[in-house]
Structure 1
Amino acid sequence: MRADNSQHIVNAARRRSQYTRAKAVQALRSLDAAGEPVTFEGVAKQAGVSRSWLDGQPDLRAEVERLRAAHRRAPSSTLPVRQRASDASLLRRLEAANARFQQLAEENRGLRDQLARALGEQRADRITRIERREDDEYR
């Protein structure tokens, strides 16, 4: 009777499964870090696994879908998802920019009024000087 070597086969299959999983996770990370779109096909191709295998891994599938959705929201961004600004952060920055815009608009209005007054005074002084000269010439 032959010895039971099935444990070796089970161990080899387990190691192969862990290695395959590690390649898929690495492919996900590298695509995200490069700012490239994360798709099932892209991850499968880079990791050297089948799309059906990848689709059968619930956690990897969820991560691909999450990254794919995040990339759709910000397609022009080359930053990894974890480094992108949150919606709340972007909203605060927009509010700060609007507040600064209002402040600058008020300042601009004040400066325009100041300039208008200064130009008006300058014009009035010029007219006054011209009138004085004309009065001096007729005397």
Structure 2
Amino acid sequence: MTDARTKRTQTLTAAAKAKSQAKTKAAEQAIRALIKRGEPITFQGVQREAGVSHAFLYNHPDLRGRIERLRSQARTVPAPAAPADAESTLVLALPSQITRLKQQHREEVQALRDALEQAHGENLDLRRELARRGLPQAAIAETK
């Protein structure tokens, strides 16, 4: 090999190594960010966060092992029983509560309609009584 070719090869090798180190650093930071936010550690999540390819993550044994280990730990950690039970109870209770409130609303609206109908009837009866007694139209108009 010539001296120029050797130098180009060394430069390209150094650039590739620097690029790989930068990607590795980005992946490590992505893993820490996902952990900090409490998000699941997956290859796809790390890839998206770090801006690296799946192939890069799978081809680096250290990163691959760490992601697989963190992913399996997340799967084996049982969810807290109380919040899950409380949430499922809430999900089951809300539809029945909504149904009950809708029924109550319909009954209250019907009661208001009945009361309004009765008030209109009484008002009509009073106007007729005023007209029968022969009161002036002005008195009847004031009651409207």
Higher percent of residues as helix: 2
Higher relative contact order (CA 8 A, sep 6+): 1
TM-score of the superposed pair, with normalisation by structure 2: 0.47
TM-score of the superposed pair, with normalisation by structure 1: 0.48
Larger radius of gyration: 2
